[in-house]
Amino acid sequence: MALHGLGKVTIGVPNLAETIGYYTEFGLDHLGEGRFATRDGGEQLHVVQAPQRRLLDLTVAADHPDDIATVARRLDALGMPIKHGPSAVRTIEPVTGTVVRVVVRARITIDPPVPATPYNGPGRIDRWGRAPFLSRVERVRPRKLGHAVLGSTDLATTMRFFVAGLGFKVSDYMGDKAAFLRCSVEHHNVLVMAAPVNFLHHTSWQVDDIDEVGRGAHAMLEGHPERHIWGLGRHHAGANFFWYLKDPAGNFSEYYSDMDTVPEDELWSPNVLEGLQGLYAWGPPPPPSFLEPDDLAALMTGAHSNNG
Ligand SMILES: [Fe+2]
């Protein structure tokens, strides 16, 4: 019994219709009224109207009512205000004001699992003939919501909330500027980073393999070069392949595949990664607007940002 991943995010945006169009193109199933499902994870995104872009609500999935009771006790010990039922506890992250819920939700299972994509190597032919990705003609459809990244004006307090309050584990640090936190076997489900303003940096959506990362981004960029932020590359922390795009409200959305996993907490030691190493192992250099999105100043003054 434990936490087992992110359940859902609710994102407020000033330009609702446009943003709903974007996530529909991104490959999420629009259930109506801004609610989106992933291929395997059920409803995992809700986009709603708000004066400026922000993460309104983050749901963390847990196995059992006992987990809810444990989290409620831990939050209570930290002095957090909680609303607590048998299958859910609701609180507010004290720095960003994000409503955070921990709810009992079924684990995402894929049965049978998606088979490994064959790739040829020197002296090794795992596939003959034309590459299998060439026959993938449908739009990429993300499997699940993997992680969310929050900028916080008080990193220590936000970290204490997730680690001491909710029970997340630290996977790696980026100096003293950010921490990768997990509540599942994947390397990170939440990353909190020090920032001059509280904001949602990105959400990240799992796809099958590197070809799907590339195919997804390629399709999103056709006719919309302004959506490109950073990719294709591979992170050092978490080791996932990545490509970051920007929604019409200014939130980044990432396609990722092949992230590090941590089967037992004892088998993983956090590293402190410095400088660019924390950001990526290879790929094009990150643009300045990746770390400091163009609309940060506008978010700080509370101005509406329509075109990010
Ligand atoms: Fe990411």
pLDDT tens digits, 27-60: 999 999 999 999 999 999 999 999 999 999 999 9
Q: How far is the CA of 188 from the centre of ligand 1 (A)?
A: 8
Read off the pLDDT of each residue in 99-126 and give the average, rounded to a whole number: 96
Establish if 279 belongs to a structural domain.
yes
Establish if 14 belongs to a structural domain.
yes
Q: How far is the CA of 286 from the centre of ligand 1 (A)?
A: 13
Q: How far is the CA of 279 from the centre of ligand 1 (A)?
A: 10
Q: How far is the CA of 63 from the centre of ligand 1 (A)?
A: 25
pLDDT tens digits, 180-227: 999 999 999 999 999 999 999 999 999 999 999 999 999 999 999 999
Read off the pLDDT of each residue in 114-139 and give the average, rounded to a whole number: 96
Out of 42-51, 162-171, 286-295, pick the least confident.
Answer: 286-295
Q: How far is the CA of 274 from the centre of ligand 1 (A)?
A: 17
Output the average pLDDT for the chain: 95
pTM: 0.96
pLDDT band at residue 291 using 50, 70 and 90 as cut-offs: confident
Establish if 125 belongs to a structural domain.
no
Q: How far is the CA of 2 from the centre of ligand 1 (A)?
A: 23
| Structure confidence at residue 307 (pLDDT) | 40
Give percent of the chain with pLDDT exceeding 70. 98
| Alpha carbons 206 and 47: distance in angstroms, whole number | 19
| Alpha carbons 92 and 288: distance in angstroms, whole number | 31
| Residues 6+ positions from 156 with CB-CB distance below 8 Å | none
Establish if 136 belongs to a structural domain.
no
Establish if 77 belongs to a structural domain.
yes
- Measured CA to CA in angstroms, residue 176 lies from 59, 179, 195, 279 at distances of 26, 8, 12, 13
Q: What is the CATH number of the domain that holds 88?
A: 3.10.180.10
Establish if 52 belongs to a structural domain.
yes
Q: Which structural domain, as residue segments, surrounds residue 28? A: 3-107+142-301
Q: How far is the CA of 239 from the centre of ligand 1 (A)?
A: 10
Domain count for the chain, please give it: 1
Q: How far is the CA of 206 from the centre of ligand 1 (A)?
A: 10
Q: How far is the CA of 124 from the centre of ligand 1 (A)?
A: 32
pLDDT band at residue 306 using 50, 70 and 90 as cut-offs: very low
| Structure confidence at residue 303 (pLDDT) | 54
Amino acid identity at 231: G
| Structure confidence at residue 33 (pLDDT) | 97
Q: How far is the CA of 128 from the centre of ligand 1 (A)?
A: 34
Q: How far is the CA of 21 from the centre of ligand 1 (A)?
A: 22
Angle at 119 between CA 229 and CA 286, to 5 degrees: 15
- Measured CA to CA in angstroms, residue 62 lies from 75, 98, 180, 200 at distances of 15, 19, 19, 23
Q: How far is the CA of 204 from the centre of ligand 1 (A)?
A: 5
Angle at 52 between CA 39 and CA 194, to 5 degrees: 80
Establish if 266 belongs to a structural domain.
yes
Extract the tokens encoding 99.
């409503």
Establish if 113 belongs to a structural domain.
no
| Structure confidence at residue 50 (pLDDT) | 97
